[in-house]
């Protein structure tokens, strides 16, 4: 005969499932404390930026945009080639002997026109003193040596 | 150590760790078994029990003592269990029955139930209940918690809890009487 099951007549087992591994409850407090201490340690670095969390969302967005754009601008400026001062170029050119310069110009395919020479003072480049203080005889001699065509070299 | 002493010591940063350690030692078995009966698997119960105490640590400073500490911890544990089971269903896209089947398989494999057919069937019957009703049944049947305290834990009225427990007990008896082998 089938005996009907009644819950209130069934012997109650407060812990019906298999118990946890031996020593589990001895170790659990220590493991919980480790996790709690770990959470505290993780929260500490975040505290350094806690002021960010207190800012309103639009302010945080604006701040982030500024930082990103600033980064781009900084990278752009730093990537530009450094301009050499004009005096350095002049100094280098002044150091080249005149004879070598003439040889270079003779060998070069480039032709210097009178208009090039006319524009030379406008370039704002300082000329060597030796060119500025040529004697009248030297100037006359140089002019006599030039051909009458437009291009003299 | 009394709950009030634990709370006083926890409020002091110097003795906070000691007080919390005492709290864990006092409630760990109750929390573990409450969770274990809901999720069945020991590893899941272990993770959830730790999560419960981590939450207790985080929020104990804001505990207003409207309810007893015991009830408050049970409430956290209950919410953790229900969230875990809910997320498990969402994660694996499983309907209610499949999670119940997974838990039932774990009960079948539990060595403590081997050789005790009635107890094993009782556990299977309990697993067929919806999560919240199973929770009510466990609190009343296994933990023998008063309905007033259960109301604080679950946020449900005493009347609704009594009705829920009554229906749960009937379902379990019905399941066992329909499926139980003849003695």
pLDDT in tens, B148-166: 999 999 999 999 999 999 9
pLDDT in tens, A49-103: 666 766 777 888 888 889 889 988 888 888 876 655 555 555 677 788 888 887 8
pLDDT in tens, A55-68: 777 888 888 889 88
Residue A129 has which token pair? 């003193």
- Could you state, in order of their start, the residue ranges of all structural domains in chain B? 1-92, 94-183
B18 touches chain A (CB under 8 A): no
What pLDDT score was predicted for residue B180?
A: 47
Q: Do residue A18 and residue B123 have CB atoms under 8 angstroms apart?
A: no
Q: Give CA–CA dist B167/B136, Å, rounded.
A: 11
Residue B171 has which token pair? 């379902």
Residue B156's SS3 state is coil
What pLDDT score was predicted for residue A3?
A: 79
Q: Which residues of A touch B (CB under 8 A)?
A: 1-7, 10, 12-21, 24-25, 28-29, 31-33, 35-36, 39
Q: Give CA–CA dist B178/B155, Å, rounded.
A: 34
Number of C-beta neighbours around residue B24 at 10 A: 23
**ipTM score above 0.90:** no
Q: What is the pTM of this model?
A: 0.64
Q: How confident is the model at residue A122 (pLDDT cuts 50, 70, 90)?
A: low
Residue numbers in chain B where pLDDT is lower than 50: 180-183
Average pLDDT in chain A: 76
Is CATH 1.10.10.10 correct for B94-183?
yes
- What would the CATH number be for the domain defined by B1-92? 1.10.1740.10
The sign of the dihedral angle between the CA atoms of B2, B3, B9, B13 is positive
**DSSP assignments along chain A, one per residue:** -PPPP-GGGSPP-SS-SPPPPTTHHHHHHHHHHHHHHHHHHHHHHHHHTHHHHHS-HHHHHHHHHHHHHHHHHHHHHHHSPPPPPHHHHHHHHHHS-HHHHHHHHHHSS----HHHHHHTGGGTPPPPHHHHT--HHHHHHHHHHS-SSS---
């Amino acid at each position: 005969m089938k005996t009907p099951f009644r819950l209130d007549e069934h012997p109650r087992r407060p812990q019906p499932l298999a118990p946890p591994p031996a020593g589990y409850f001895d170790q659990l407090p220590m493991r919980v404390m480790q996790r709690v201490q770990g959470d505290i340690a993780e929260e500490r670095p975040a505290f350094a930026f806690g002021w960010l969390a207190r800012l309103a969302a639009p302010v945080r967005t604006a701040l982030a945009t500024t930082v990103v754009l600033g980064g781009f601008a900084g990278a752009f400026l730093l990537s530009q080639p450094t301009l050499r001062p004009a005096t350095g170029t002049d100094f280098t050119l002044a150091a080249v002997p005149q004879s070598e310069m003439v040889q270079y110009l003779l060998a070069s395919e480039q032709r210097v026109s009178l208009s090039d020479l006319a524009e030379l003072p406008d370039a704002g480049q300082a000329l060597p003193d030796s060119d500025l203080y040529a004697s009248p005889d030297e100037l006359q001699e140089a002019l006599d040596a030039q051909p009458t065509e437009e291009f003299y070299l | 150590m009394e709950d009030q002493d634990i709370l006083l010591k926890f409020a002091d940063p110097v003795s906070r760790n000691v007080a919390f350690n005492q709290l864990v030692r006092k409630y760990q078995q109750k929390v573990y078994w409450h969770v274990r009966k809901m999720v069945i698997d020991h590893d899941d119960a272990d993770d959830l029990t730790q999560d419960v105490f981590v939450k207790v640590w985080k929020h104990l400073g804001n505990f207003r003592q409207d309810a007893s500490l015991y009830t408050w911890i049970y409430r956290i544990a209950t919410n953790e269990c229900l969230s875990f089971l809910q997320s498990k269903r969402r994660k694996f896209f499983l309907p209610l029955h499949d999670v119940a089947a997974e838990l039932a398989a774990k009960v079948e494999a539990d060595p403590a139930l081997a050789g005790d057919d009635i107890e094993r069937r009782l556990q299977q019957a309990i697993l067929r209940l919806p999560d919240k009703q199973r929770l009510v049944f466990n609190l009343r049947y296994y933990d023998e918690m008063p309905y007033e305290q259960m109301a604080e834990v679950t946020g449900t009225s005493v009347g609704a809890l009594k009705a829920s427990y009554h229906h749960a007990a009937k379902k379990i008896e019905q399941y066992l009487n329909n499926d139980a082998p003849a003695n």
